[in-house]
Every structure is written in structure tokens, then in C-alpha cells.
Structure 1
Amino acid sequence: MKELLEFRSKCSILWSYDWVSITLVYTQVVTLSTYSFVIACIFGRQCIDNGSKDISLDVYFPLWTVLQILFYMGLLKVAEHMINQYSEDDEDFDLSYLLNRHSKIRSSI
């Protein structure tokens, strides 16, 4: 009986995750700040020819800037997916089916 009560409490926690979503203002702020950071990086990290003989790889291809932009854009895509993690996509969990199934099994016991 103790295991069933623990399982029921975990199902209710799962249901509360589906019920409460991340606010829209937070996602808009993160999206705006990420895109403005990318635009600032594109314009601000360009190498300027100042007449010195010291040439680095960054003059031809800004490797670290590109890696940083890819990292931040990847984090943004993860955050966008977290908005509706239990959605109706093919790769997502069908939370309604799981909750209905567990409630039917619990009622039959």
C-alpha cells in the first residue's frame, strides 16, 4: 500500500508539471537578449586591420565567436522546447494517456 501511495504522489507531481508552464514574458526576454547578443557579436568581434604584422586565425574565421553563438542558440532552442514539454509532438510523452491509464489501474485495484 505504501508503494501505491508513493506511485500516486509521483503521478500527481507529473500532472503538476503539465499544468504549470513557464511564463511568456521570460521566454520573450531570453529570446530578445539572445538574438541581440548574436547581432552584437557579429558586428563587435570583427577584426580591424591596424597595420600590424601579427595575424591570427581569428582574422580569417572567428572560431570562438562562432562556437559561442552556436552554444547560446542551442541553449535558446532547449529553452523554447521547455515551454511546452508535454506537447503533441511525436517524440513527446502522451501525458493524458499515462494519467488516464494509471487512474484506471488504480481504480481496478
Structure 2
Amino acid sequence: MWFEDGRGLHLDGASDWTLLWSVTEPGDDGWIGQYLYDHDGRWVMRAATDEPPFVGLAGSRLVSGTAVFNEAEEVVGLTLGFEGQEVSLSLYKGEVNTSSR
């Protein structure tokens, strides 16, 4: 997810099924190295702005972000509030999963 000022939000699932995130500075693509592999088909970069639940969110103001915790108080999800819509990010089988509320 990129913001107007060029910063980004990188989300990833850890091996213990907790949600990791980091904020990147404009032009910082250092996070992409972990997704580059020597063989085809492992990771595909794509724009998700035309896919549910992100349809219509491009250009919308992010107004809130709320962490979701498991019973061990570990972050396992994130709810992002945009003007008029919330998007929940959670882990499913170790991968970041999205849903719209």
C-alpha cells in the first residue's frame, strides 16, 4: 500500500502466523528482496485496486488502523478504516487474507 507522500505500508505473515508490518520511506524498495526467487511462478506483483475489497479505495483517505490480537496478545490482523469502508487483513494458512466490512 502506497501513500500520497511516497511512503508505503508493507504487510507480511510471519512463520508463527503473526502479522508483521513496516512503514517504508519514499523510494525504499528494500522489502522486495525477500520475494525475489530464481524460479518462475513464486510471487507475482500486481495492482489490487480493481479487486475486492480494494475496489474504489484508491485515493481514499485512510482514517484509522486497528490491530487485531489473538489470545496471546500477538498481532494477527489489522483493520484499516477508509472513508466509508473498512478492510480487515488477517492471516489464513500463513498468508495475508483480506475481507471487506
Normalized against structure 1, the TM-score is what? Answer: 0.20
- Pick the structure with more helix per residue: 1
Q: Which structure features the higher share of strand residues? A: 2
Tell which structure's C-alpha radius of gyration is larger: 1
The structure whose RCO (Cα within 8 Å, separation 6+) is larger is: 1
